[in-house]
A and B are shown apart, each in its own frame.
Chain A
Amino acid sequence: MLVFRRYGFALLILCAIVFPFAFYSSDVSTRRDLSFLEKVVYTLSRPVEFSFNLVTHQARELVDSYVDLRGAREEADRLEEENAQLSVRMQMLKEVERENERLHKLLNFVRQVNLKFVSGHVHSADPSFLYKSIRMNRGESDGVLPGMAVVAADGAVGVVMRTLGTYSDVLLLTDPNSNLDVIVARNRRRGMLEGSAGQGMLFKYADRGSRVIVGDEIVTSGLTGPFPRGIVVGKVTKIRVEPDGVSQLIEVEPAVNFAEVSEALILLRSSREVDVIRRLGGVDWMKKLVESVPSRSGG
C-alpha cells in the first residue's frame, strides 16, 4: 500500500500514456460477449435497470396515451375512410398476387421463405452520444443471435451486435462502424451504405455509371447480410462531387427516425454468410472468426 501511495500516480501516468498507443495501434473492436467484470457489474446494476425500465416505460405510456387521446375522434374518422379505401385496394392486390404467382411458376422462381420475427421494445440508447446503438428487451432466451436484422415500421434499423439473456444491443445503420449492401430502388444499382458520425449515412462504392439523383429511394439488396431484399433504408438527400473530380459523396437520410423508435422487429434469420460458416466450420470456429474480424459489419 505504501508503494502504491508513493508510486501509484507515476504508474497511472505511465498507463495513461501507454494505453492510447496500444488502443490506436491494435485492431480492437466491440466484443460480442461481455467480459466477466462487465457481467458482474451488469448483475449488480439489475435493480437500477429494473427501476429505470419501469419508470421510463410508464412515463412513455402516459405521454403516448395523452397524445393518442388528443384528436382521437378525427383520427377515427380518417382511419375509417382509409380502411374503406384499403379494402378495395386489397381486393385488387389479391388478383395481382395470383397473377404474380402464376408468372413466378412460369419463370421457375424460388419462392422466398416466410420470415419469422420477434417484436421488442427499445429501452435505451448509446450513452456516448456519438456511437449509435440501442438496447432491446429481447435476447438469447427469445432466439436472438448476433448478426440478425432489426426493422421498424418505416424501414431498416440495424443489426444485432451482442446479446445476453433478456436483452440485445443493436448497432444502428447510422453508426460509423455500420455497413450495408444496398441498391437504388429506381435503377437497381448496387452500392454500400456506411454510417457516419453525423445524423445521416453515406452511399459509397456505387457501380460504375450509376446515375443517382436526389430523392432516390435506397433499399436493401438482400444479396449479402441478414436483411431480406427491398426493405427501405433511406432517401438520397445530397450529392457532392469529391475534390478529385471522379468520385461522388452521396448522403442518405434514414427512413427511420431512430430517436423515436420505441418498438421494432428482430428478424430471426441470421446472415447468409454466417449460416454457411456455421454449417461448414461449426460454432467454435465461427466464434473465433467473428472475434478476429476487426470491424463490425451490418452487411
Chain B
Amino acid sequence: MLRMRAWQVHAVVMAVLAFVAVYFQAYILSRSSSGWLHVDLVTIYVVYVSIEHLLFGAIVRIFFVAALMHMFSGAPDGFYLMYYLLALVISNLVAKVIALHKLSSQILVFSAIFLLKFVLIYGSLNKVHRVPELMTFVLKIAPSLIVTTVASVPLFGILSRLDGLFDATARRDHRQDLVES
C-alpha cells in the first residue's frame, strides 16, 4: 500500500490550500462589489509560507501561486512573481529583526506587505500613463487593505496550527522509522 510521508502530505495540502485560496478569491470575493469583502487570501498565504517554511519550498510554492494568479488576472506578465518575491524577501528580512509572534508586529509587517502590492500596481499604471489621482486610489484600496490586515492574524494562526499537525505527524513517522530499523 502506498504510504505517504508527512512532508509529502504537507506539500499536497499546501498546494490544495493555494488552489482553494486563489479560486475562492476569484470566484467569490472578487465578484463582490464591496471593497470590505476583498480579502487578499493569496497574499496572506504567501506571507505565511515565506516566513514559516524552508526557503526552497517557499520559492516553489510562490512560483506555483504566481502562475495560478496570472492565469486569472489581467495584470501585466511577471507582476505577481515580482510581488511575491518581494514579499518573500521582505518578510524573511523582517522576521530576522522583529519577533513576528507579537500581534502588533504581525499587523505592522502584514499591512506593509499588503500595501506594497498597491504601490506596485500604482507604479505599473504609471508606466502606461493611466495613473489615477492618489486620493481616489487610496480610498479605493483602503477597505481591502484594512480587511486583509485584520483577517491575516487569525488566518496566520490557523495555518500555523495546520503546520503544527504535520510536525507532530513527522515526529511520529520518524519514531516509526527508528522502530522499524
Residues of A within 8 A of B (CB): 4, 8-9, 12-13, 15-16, 19-20, 23-24, 28-31, 34-35, 37-38, 41-42, 44-45, 48-49, 52-53, 56, 123-133, 135, 161, 169, 171, 175-177, 194-199, 257, 259-260, 294-296
Contact = CB atoms under 8 A, between A and B. Distances in A.
25 contacts: A9-B55, A16-B85, A23-B124, A28-B76, A28-B78, A30-B75, A38-B71, A42-B71, A44-B19, A45-B68, A48-B23, A126-B26, A127-B26, A127-B30, A129-B144, A131-B74, A131-B121, A135-B26, A169-B72, A198-B137, A198-B140, A257-B33, A259-B33, A260-B33, A295-B128
Most-contacted residue by chain A among B31, B38, B82 (CB, 10 A): B31
Contacts of B120: 20
Contacts of B67: 35, 37-38, 41
A126 B73 contact: yes
A31 B70 CA distance: 10
A262 to B, nearest CB: 9
Contacts of B92: 9
Contacts of B81: 19
Given A131-B73, A132-B74, A194-B130, A19 B23 contact: no
Nearest to B55: A8
B123 to A, nearest CB: 6
A48 B77 CA distance: 24
Contact of B77 (A28, A126, A135, A295): A28
B146 to A, nearest CB: 13
Given A130-B121, A171-B74, A45 B23 contact: yes
Given A9-B92, A129-B144, A133-B74, 15 more contacts: A19-B81, A23-B76, A23-B79, A24-B124, A28-B77, A37-B63, A37-B67, A38-B70, A38-B71, A41-B68, A44-B19, A52-B24, A126-B73, A127-B29, A257-B33
Contact of A196 (B76, B85, B130): B130
For the complex of A and B, 7 pairs with smallest distance between CB atoms:
A259-B33, A133-B74, A124-B26, A197-B132, A127-B25, A125-B30, A131-B74
Nearest to B87: A16
Interface string B133-162: 000110011001000000000000000000
A259 B38 CA distance: 13
Nearest to B42: A127
A132 B74 CA distance: 7
Dominant SS at the B interface? helix
Given A16-B88, A20-B86, A4 B72 contact: no
A198 B30 contact: no
Interface string B86-103: 101100100000000000
B11 interface: no
A257 B125 CA distance: 23
B70 to A, nearest CB: 6
A129 B30 contact: yes
A135 B72 contact: yes
A126 B30 contact: yes
Nearest to B122: A197
Contacts of A37: 63, 67
A128 B28 contact: no
B32 interface: yes
B136 A197 contact: yes
B74 A30 contact: yes
Nearest to B133: A198
A52 B32 contact: no
Contact of A8 (B22, B27, B32, B56): B56
B1 to A, nearest CB: 23
Interface string B31-70: 1110100101010000000000001100100011001111
Nearest to B137: A197
B74 A169 contact: yes
A272 B60 CA distance: 43
A23 B136 contact: no
A12 B85 contact: yes
Nearest to A56: B27
Given A123-B27, A124-B26, A177-B74, A198 B85 contact: no
